[in-house]
Amino acid sequence: MKKIAVFTSGGDSPGMNACIRAVVRMSLYQGMEVFGIRRGYQGMIEGDILPMEQGSVSGIIQQGGTILRSARSQEFRTEAGRAKAYRQLQEAGIEGLVAIGGDGTFKGAQILMSEYPDIKIIGCPGTIDNDLYGTDFTIGYDTAINTAMNAIDNIKDTANAHDRLFFVEVMGRDAGFIALRAGIATGAEAVLVPESKTNIEHLIQTLEQGYIRKKKNSSIVVVAEGDDAGGAFTIAERVGKKFSQYEIKVTVLGHIQRGGRPTCMERVRASRMGIAAVQALQEGKAGLMVGEINNQIVLTPLELATKHHQEINPMLLEMVDILA
C-alpha cells in the first residue's frame, strides 16, 4: 500500500489528535504517502483531502478536539453520496483509510467497503463513551472521566459547605461508563446508568441512610444522561420531594467533558492505536478495529465492534454501594 488517508468522524474526543499524529508519522516512517480528510465522510464526499507531512501534525499531541475536524454526514447515508466519496478517493489514489470514531463511523466504513471492496479501512475507537466492544478503553474516555472527576470534586467542596444534595449529570447517551468511574472516584452516594434499571425507592433509601445513620450533610448522585429513569433534573424532582430539609441542586456537565488536554494514558494509547492501524493496513488487513485489551493490541471485526456493546462490570456497580 502506497497511499493512505486518515479522518475523524462523529463526536470528537480528546486524544484524536494524538492518533492522527501517530497515523501520519508511522505512514511516513514506512515510506507511504499520507493524506488527511477534513470533516469526516462529508469531507470525503467533497474531496476535502490534504497531503500530510511530518510538520502537519507538530504540536498537536496535547490538544483536545481534532485538527481534521468532524461531522455527521447525511449525504454519506445515501448510495449517491458514497459513490461521490469513492470517486474522490480514487482520484487521490487512496487505497487505505484509518477511520477514527465510534459506532456510526464504523457502520459507515462497513457500508463503503461492502460497495467498494478495493478500499481498505481500519478503525480506531474514538469516543468518550467507552461503549465499543473490542477494547478495554476508547480514545477520549480517560480524559473525559478525569474532567468529570475534577468537576465533581469542585461540586463536593461547595456541597459540603451547605446541606445540599447534588445530582450531577455526565455524558453517556447509551452508556454509563463515564458515570460509573467518575462516581466511584468522587465517592458518590449513588451512580445511575442506562445499563441497569434505576430503582428510585432504593435510591431514596440509600440517601436516607447516608443522612440519618452516617450523618452526612451532603451527597452527590452521578447520573448518566441516558439513564432509564430520566436525566438529572427528572430524577432530582422525584427524589427531592422526600428530602425537603436539604437543598437540591442539579449540575449538567455537558460538553466540557468532550474537550480538554488529553491525559498521559490517552496520548500513549491513541498513539499506539494509530501505529497499529497503519501496520494493519500494510499487512493487507481491512474491516477491523484496533483495540487494547489487557494492554495488548487486539483487532476486532468492525461488524462485531458495532453489533455488541461493551458490558458494565457488575463489580464496579457494587463498589458504589459498598463504598457509599
173 lines the binding site for ligand F6P (CB under 6 A): yes
| Beta pairing partners, 169 | 223, 252
CB-nearer residue toward ligand F6P: 14 or 134: 14
Residue pair 135/291 in contact (Cβ under 8 Å)? The answer is yes
Binds ligand F6P (CB under 6 A): choice among 100, 171, 223, 235: 171
Kindly tell me which residue out of 11, 64, 134, 287 binds ligand F6P, with binding defined by CB under 6 A: 11
Residue 127 binding ligand F6P, by CB under 6 A: yes
Should residue 131 be labelled a site residue for ligand F6P when binding is judged by CB under 6 A?
A: no
| b/e sequence 295-324, b meaning 16+ C-beta within 10 Å | eebebbebeebbeeebebeeebbeebeeeb
The yes or no reply on residue 172 touching ligand F6P (CB under 6 A) is yes
Q: Nearer to ligand F6P by C-beta: 120 or 225?
A: 225
Check binding of 64 to ligand F6P (CB under 6 A): no
Nearer to ligand F6P, 134 or 210 (CB): 134
Residue 129 falls in the annotated catalytic set: yes
Residues in 262-301 that interact with ligand F6P by CB under 6 A? none
How far is residue 262's CA from residue 13's CA, in Å, rounded to a whole number?
Answer: 9
Least CB distance to ligand F6P at residue 170 (A): 9
Instruction: Give the binding range for ligand F6P (CB under 6 A) out of 81-89, 126-134, 272-280, 302-310.
Output: 126-134
Q: Which residues pair with 139 in a beta bridge?
A: 126
Give the pairing of strands 288-293 and 296-301: antiparallel
Q: Which of 48, 129, 131, 227 is catalytic?
A: 129
State in angstroms the smallest separation of the CB of 259 from ligand F6P: 11
| Contact between 228 and ligand F6P per CB under 6 A | no
* Burial class, 259, CB count within 10 angstroms (exposed 0-12 / middle 13-18 / buried 19+): middle
Question: Residue 258 corresponds to which cell in the numbers above?
Answer: 468532550
In angstroms, rounded to a whole number, what is the distance separating the alpha carbons of residues 17 and 68? 8
Residue showing cell 448518566:
224
Beta carbon of residue 16, minimum distance to ligand F6P (angstroms, whole number): 11
Residue nearest to ligand F6P (CB): 11
Q: How far apart are CA 10 and CA 295, in angstroms?
A: 26
Could you identify the residue written with the cell 450533610? 217
N-to-C CA span, the chain: 54
Amino acid at 258: R
Residue 74 is a binding residue for ligand F6P (CB under 6 A): no
Min CB(268)–ligand F6P separation in Å: 21
Count of residues that interact with ligand F6P, criterion CB under 6 A: 9
CA 224 to chain centre: 14
The residues that are catalytic are 129
The residues of the shown chain that bind ligand F6P, judged by CB under 6 A, are 11, 127-129, 171-173, 225, 258
